[in-house]
Structure formats: structure tokens, C-alpha cells
Chains A and B, each alone.
Chain A
């Protein structure tokens, strides 16, 4: 019995696959280096990374890779991720795209992997410098949270009070998001009255978000969620409450969130680009194994964790854009892909 992975819409995988083929047409003739065995390893099970599996499979097909496999540890535990990565080395994988189980704790294993000659990239979450990772490609989560909060506050009166629901504390992005939301609120003269973190899993999210709203719904005007599961749970909760007084901006593209936007319970969502991260990441890993080097003077951005950051893109999707959110992210992925080699690599 194979559990169903969650997909944004039933059509999305087909659309993405077709899109990937189209992208591949733009790729400069990829060296058919079928000895590249790439592993995409998240920190643990989570719906966000479901797109990586597809992205890896498509990249393996399009660029003739030996393998681009999605390997997920059975729990969000650093020890398990470490053991998995060690095992993957022994199994012959020679390039790694990793979502750090902890921004500092994963540096050790990343350096060890790099020591075996494998290119290592941080994906969707960054390692804290200094590390042997070639770069970090992900959503500029701080920026995304900032933009999302500004969108939310733009819809609320001055001096509004908002609650912020966010992800795991070990997630390198969480603190970035908390700080960004705080900053955006300050600039707009609003107040973040409550931050609830570590609820990026259904049970704690259900428990805490519902309990919070039961007690304090009257006191807040808006909700900003910067993690997948809290966004889903908060959308459902607002639907249950029903009065559409509380405005919300969510994140990612879970169907529950998208439907809530269409029905007016949620103002909009900040889309991220997991598919693009996985697809482009696998492509670059192969290139690096084929002899390309990362440019010393590449125009990296920087965030609180690292100086070698590449933004994989984010965009706000409101009620007018939700129907076509896949297209929005495809556009961003295409742009990033086309310019990647010339911008960042020396081949």
C-alpha cells in the first residue's frame, strides 16, 4: 500500500513534467554523465518536499543522470538524517542536495560528504557559514515572510494586531521568518501579539492553533502563517469560525489553502518553488561533477546564515492568481534555469 503523496492539483505532476521537458530544450547540451548519482535528502517527512521526488525523477530523465533519488529520513531527527547520508555515501551516491536538519548540526556531515569528493548543496534551507556546501538555493524565506506580512497588513487598519504561526524550531528558516515578520509589522505600525512556533505537524498545529483561536480570536485582526501545516490548519480554522473578519496570508500551495483563498476566507498565499529547487539543483549537481566550478565572484545574495545564497523565487498569489499558481512558479523556475550556468558556473 503506497501512501499518496500530496499534490497541488491532480494535473500538476503532468503539467510539471511537460514543463520540465520544455525546460530541458533550453539546456545547453548537457554532458550525458550517467555516473552522477544524486540524492535529494530533506530533514524529515513533510508535504513541502513531495515536489522534490518528481523534480529529481524529471531531472534524471532529462539530463541522463545515473540517478536523482529522493531519500527521506523516517523522522525529523538529526541523527537519522546523518545515518541516512552516511549510508547513501556507501550506496554510491556522489552528489547531495540537502535540507539541513539543523543549520549548524548538519555542517559536520555536509563537510564529511564534501570530503569524499561529492558536491553538496543546501536546498530550501541553508547551512550556517562556514561550510563546504557549494551554495544554498532556496526561497528567501525572510523576504517571503516580509512580503507576505506587508500584503496582510496592507489589508488591515493601522495598529492591527496579528498572530504568527510558523515552523519547526530546528528549521533554519524559522528564526529568519520570525524576524522578518516582526520587521514588517514594525514598519507598518502593527503588532505581532503572538508567535507560535514548532507546529509544522498536524497534531500540535491542530491543538495549539485551535486552542489559541478559541481563547484569543477576538483580540487579533490578522494571521500570518509561514509554514505549510500551520497554513492548512489555520485556513480550516478560519473556515470553521466563518465570519471572515480575521484576514490571513498563508504559504505554499496546499489545496486546503487554495480553496480557502477562492472562497474568501484567506487573503492569499506566498508560493515557494520546491520543484524548481529540486530540478535545477540536480542539474547543477551534475554539471559540478562534470568539471564545472562555481564562479568565485558569482552574484550571490546573502541571508542571516550564509553568504552564498541563490533565491529560488517567491510570489504572492491572491484570489486572482490561485487558479494558475503552477504557471507562476514555472515562470520563475524557467527564468532561473536559463540564466543559471552563465551566471553562477564556470564550465
Chain B
């Protein structure tokens, strides 16, 4: 990891993990405990919210929760695949919106059938992500500043091309997905997220490509020495991140039935917090080299549930963001404490 990467990741725990591994402590168990903890939290909070307001478990409420979570999960995945390489992608929101608007344009302005338009939107997302990757690799600069700049550029170009106007003539069939209910409780969008989660799991666990990505993130030098083209890995991850962000944006388009340029806030900033909360809560280390797809899924789901619950408990829409920030802070602090505790215990 270059000194630039340390900018973001803080202390590298790779030394800790190596120690743990050497001491015979299975990191697999470590990982598992994180996901298990999340499941416990989800059940716990669901119980709390349901006791305060039984309507929390109503079909409509669960359906809406699942649908909103689906998008947040996808946003979390988008950031996750970049964090794995030890980098960042601040442009997730900008790429997501740009790709969604591209999809909308294809559907409305060019009249493409929706599957082609969606494919087009995903391609735009992947291309923008790949552009990020190439810039990062070629310049040797930190992904933070590159994606900070491209966030601005992508969003600006999108706004310029669309003149900040929404596409409101989205194909009715496509918009139908966002409204469809399976068994009255499940949104197709959530199924898409689950599918993507499975695909990502397979990628990182079973394919050589996934393993090479993880190796690059863990120790770029060593990976290079063992013949992995880290440049290609990084570009691939950014392209994948772009495609996932595009998917999130397109899901939103289906949900609202319109492609609106402000869907992710100014410059796409509004996606930054959910983009980090999911992976961080889920145990994906900011330093890279370690990933937990299930953790990100559960983390994003938990965050969505907390937001829904806070709204329900009349905490007031205005205080929700404070709680989410506190949650993120708490999560990183706990994670740090947990890891240093484990290291100390092993060394003791």
C-alpha cells in the first residue's frame, strides 16, 4: 500500500491479520462473528420497532423497507468493490445518476425497449467507472482526489446534457417492477440485489479474478511480484463499481417511474453515507484485501431498517442523519477496538 493509500485507511491492520493468521486464529471465524452480530442487531431492532409500533411488521411496511434496502444494498456494493482494492470511489452517486439518466434517455428519447436501455445504462456506468480506474492507474494519484474530480465532471456533463430535466416517459413495464409485489411483501428489486450479492460472493470466493483482486488490495507489491496485474485489477474494480452504481440508479428509476437528475443529491453526494455505511458495518476493511458481501448486504439492510424505524418512532426526519453519523462512528470505533483487542490477546 502506498503512503497515499494510508491517507484513507489509517493504520494498516494487515500486520494484525498476519499475526492472527500466524497465531493460528482463523480469520474466517472473525468474519463470521461480524455477520452474525449484524443478524442479531437486525432481529433486535426489528423487535424494538415492532413493539413500539406493530404496524412496522405490516406487509406494506416490510415491502417498502425491502424495496428501499435493495437500492441501499446496491450502493453499498458499488463502494465495496472499490474499497477491496484499498481505494475509494466518491463518484458513486454521480455515476449512478448519469447512468440512470442515460437509461432514461434511451427509453424515452430513443424509444429503446427497456432491457436494452437498462443494458445501455449499465454500460455507461461501467465505462465511467473504467475511466476512473484508468485515470487512477495512469496518474498514480490517490483514488480520493481522482474520484472527487470526476464526480464533479460526470455530474456536470450529465446536467449539461439533460439540462437538468427529468425523463418522465419511462416505459410502463419497467416502472411496473418498482411497484410490483411478490406475495404481497417482496419487491423484485430486492431479489435483484440478492442476485447481485450471490454473484459477487461467487466472484470473490470462487474465481481466480476475485482472489487476485483481494490480493491486490491486501498487498499490492506482493501481488505484483506474484504476477498479478494490479493495474488491471484496479480498473476492473472501478468499472464494476460503476456498473453497480448504475444498477442502483436504474432501480431508482424503476421505483419512481421517472429519471430525475436530483435523485442522488447535488453531485451525487447523498449516496456517500449509505455507500460507506454498508461495507463498513459489514466488516469490509477500508485498507483493502478483505471483503464481506454478506456483511455489506446485512449492514445496508440494518441501516435502512434503522432509518425506517427512526422515522416511525417520530424521532423526526430531521434527526435521522445525526443517528446515522453516530452509527458510522460507533461502528468504526468498535471495529478498531475489536481488532486491537484480538491482536493483544493473541500476543499476550
Tell me if A104 and B55 are in contact (CB < 8 A): no
By Cβ-Cβ distance, the 6 closest A-B pairs, closest first, are: A104-B168, A86-B64, A105-B256, A87-B311, A105-B258, A104-B258
Answer yes or no: B255 CB below 8 A from chain A CBs. Answer: yes
* A90 and B179 alpha carbons, distance in the complex (Å): 17
Partner of B256, one of A71, A78, A89: A78
Tell me if B166 and A74 are in contact (CB < 8 A): no
Tell me if B179 and A108 are in contact (CB < 8 A): yes
Answer yes or no: A84 CB below 8 A from chain B CBs. Answer: yes
Tell me if B262 and A77 are in contact (CB < 8 A): yes
Chain A residue with the shortest CB-CB distance to B68: A83
Partner of B257, one of A91, A107, A198: A107
If A77-B270, A108-B255 touch, whether A83 touches B308 (CB-CB below 8 Å) is yes
In chain B, positions 225-284 with a C-beta closer than 8 Å to chain A are 252, 255-258, 260, 262-263, 265, 270
* A284 and B307 alpha carbons, distance in the complex (Å): 32
Interface string of A66-91 (1 = CB under 8 A from B): 00000111111111101110110111
A-B contact pairs, 7 of them (CB 8 A): A90-B53, A90-B56, A90-B61, A91-B53, A92-B55, A102-B256, A105-B260
Contacts of B165 in A (CB 8 A): 169
Tell me if B178 and A108 are in contact (CB < 8 A): yes
Contacts of B265 in A (CB 8 A): 75, 77
Tell me if B311 and A83 are in contact (CB < 8 A): yes
Answer yes or no: A116 CB below 8 A from chain B CBs. Answer: yes
- Which of B114-122, B314-322, B337-345 sits within the interface? B314-322
* A198 and B162 alpha carbons, distance in the complex (Å): 14
Answer yes or no: B1 CB below 8 A from chain A CBs. Answer: no
* A75 and B264 alpha carbons, distance in the complex (Å): 12
- Shortest distance from the beta carbon of A204 to any chain B beta carbon, whole Å: 10
If A84-B317, A102-B256, A104-B168 touch, whether A91 touches B55 (CB-CB below 8 Å) is yes
Answer yes or no: B58 CB below 8 A from chain A CBs. Answer: yes
Contacts of A290 in B (CB 8 A): none
* A76 and B314 alpha carbons, distance in the complex (Å): 20
If A77-B265, A84-B317 touch, whether A103 touches B168 (CB-CB below 8 Å) is yes
- Shortest distance from the beta carbon of A201 to any chain B beta carbon, whole Å: 11
Answer yes or no: A325 CB below 8 A from chain B CBs. Answer: no
Interface residues of A (CB under 8 A from B): 71-80, 82-84, 86-87, 89-92, 102-108, 111-112, 116, 128, 169-170, 198
Chain A residue with the shortest CB-CB distance to B270: A77
Contacts of B198 in A (CB 8 A): none
Tell me if A74 and B179 are in contact (CB < 8 A): no
Tell me if A116 and B164 are in contact (CB < 8 A): no
Chain A residue with the shortest CB-CB distance to B253: A105
* A110 and B168 alpha carbons, distance in the complex (Å): 16
Contacts of A106 in B (CB 8 A): 256
- Shortest distance from the beta carbon of B190 to any chain A beta carbon, whole Å: 15
If A74-B320, A77-B265 touch, whether A102 touches B258 (CB-CB below 8 Å) is yes
Answer yes or no: B175 CB below 8 A from chain A CBs. Answer: yes
Contacts of A105 in B (CB 8 A): 166, 168, 256-258, 260
Chain B residue with the shortest CB-CB distance to A128: B168
Answer yes or no: B324 CB below 8 A from chain A CBs. Answer: no
Contacts of B311 in A (CB 8 A): 83-84, 87
* A169 and B165 alpha carbons, distance in the complex (Å): 7
- Shortest distance from the beta carbon of B181 to any chain A beta carbon, whole Å: 10
Partner of A198, one of B58, B164, B321: B164
Contacts of B56 in A (CB 8 A): 90
Answer yes or no: B137 CB below 8 A from chain A CBs. Answer: no
Tell me if B60 and A116 are in contact (CB < 8 A): yes
Interface string of B165-198 (1 = CB under 8 A from A): 1101000000100110000000000000000000
Contacts of A91 in B (CB 8 A): 53, 55, 312, 314
Tell me if B312 and A87 are in contact (CB < 8 A): yes
- Shortest distance from the beta carbon of B12 to any chain A beta carbon, whole Å: 36
* A77 and B58 alpha carbons, distance in the complex (Å): 26
Contacts of A84 in B (CB 8 A): 311, 317
Contacts of B318 in A (CB 8 A): 74
Q: Apart from A108-B175, A170-B166, what are 7 other A-B pairs with CB-CB below 8 Å? A: A83-B68, A84-B317, A86-B64, A105-B258, A108-B178, A112-B179, A169-B164
Chain A residue with the shortest CB-CB distance to B64: A86
* A107 and B178 alpha carbons, distance in the complex (Å): 12
- Shortest distance from the beta carbon of B330 to any chain A beta carbon, whole Å: 22
Partner of A170, one of B58, B262, B320: B262
Chain B residue with the shortest CB-CB distance to A89: B60
Interface string of B43-63 (1 = CB under 8 A from A): 000000000010110101100
* A198 and B163 alpha carbons, distance in the complex (Å): 11
Chain B residue with the shortest CB-CB distance to A45: B318
Contacts of A72 in B (CB 8 A): 317
Tell me if B179 and A80 are in contact (CB < 8 A): no
* A90 and B166 alpha carbons, distance in the complex (Å): 30
* A50 and B227 alpha carbons, distance in the complex (Å): 64
- Shortest distance from the beta carbon of A127 to any chain B beta carbon, whole Å: 11
* A128 and B257 alpha carbons, distance in the complex (Å): 12
Tell me if B168 and A90 are in contact (CB < 8 A): no
Tell me if A90 and B312 are in contact (CB < 8 A): yes
* A310 and B64 alpha carbons, distance in the complex (Å): 32
- Shortest distance from the beta carbon of A52 to any chain B beta carbon, whole Å: 16
| Most interface-central of A84, A89, A104 (chain B CB within 10 A) | A104
Tell me if B263 and A79 are in contact (CB < 8 A): yes
Contacts of A79 in B (CB 8 A): 252, 263
Tell me if B262 and A78 are in contact (CB < 8 A): yes
In chain B, positions 273-332 with a C-beta closer than 8 Å to chain A are 307-308, 311-312, 314, 317-318, 320-321
- Shortest distance from the beta carbon of A294 to any chain B beta carbon, whole Å: 24
Contacts of B60 in A (CB 8 A): 86, 89-90, 116
Tell me if A102 and B166 are in contact (CB < 8 A): yes
* A108 and B180 alpha carbons, distance in the complex (Å): 11
* A216 and B178 alpha carbons, distance in the complex (Å): 47
